[in-house]
Structure 1
């Protein structure tokens, strides 16, 4: 079975008083990045994983993080590592 790449984006809503702790917890997770946050507790997060099961596990870990009120999957993409490394021809 070929190696896969899974990329997802989420909107995470955290209790405003726990926002910093939630950001720090997510940032420490493998493949997780916090791209922005607002004072009212909303965070934009991306996750990278090697399998669908690993991705689901990470989303669940975020949902169970103390201070997280909700985590909504916005987008999910997967492909083989080989396809991701193919050069895209110039259209011009």
Structure 2
């Protein structure tokens, strides 16, 4: 599983359409937005190629000024399903 966070900057007049495009992408979620057109977005996909395709789709959308990848994490699905031991901290 690949997880990427982005900052997407769009022209304010295009934000409704850009938000709809992002929300239509599988595994995409908008976590925050401002009136100036900046959005904080996460993408989740099985492969990095799918992430890059989604980033390209967003970047090419009308009204998008920039897309900046902030963070990417990749982990096997097996490790995501592994239960972690409970750790008790004392002070």
- RMSD (Å) for aligned C-alpha atoms: 0.7
- Runs (4+) of structure 1 exceeding 2 A deviation are none
Q: Deviations over 1:10-59 (max 9, x none)?
A: 00000011111111111011111111110000001000001011111111
The partner residue of 1:40 within 36, 40, 54 is: 36
Report the number of matched residues. 88
Over alpha carbons, which structure has the higher Rg?
Answer: 2
Structure 1 runs not aligned, ≥5 long: none
Q: Which residue of structure 2 aligns with residue 30 of structure 1?
A: 26
The partner residue of 1:18 within 9, 14, 20 is: 14
Partner SS for 2:16? helix
Structure 2 runs not aligned, ≥5 long: none
TM-score, normalised with respect to structure 1: 0.92
Structure 1 CA distance for aligned equivalents of residues 52 and 39 of structure 2: 18
Partner SS for 1:23? helix
Q: Which residue of structure 2 aligns with residue 51 of structure 1?
A: 47
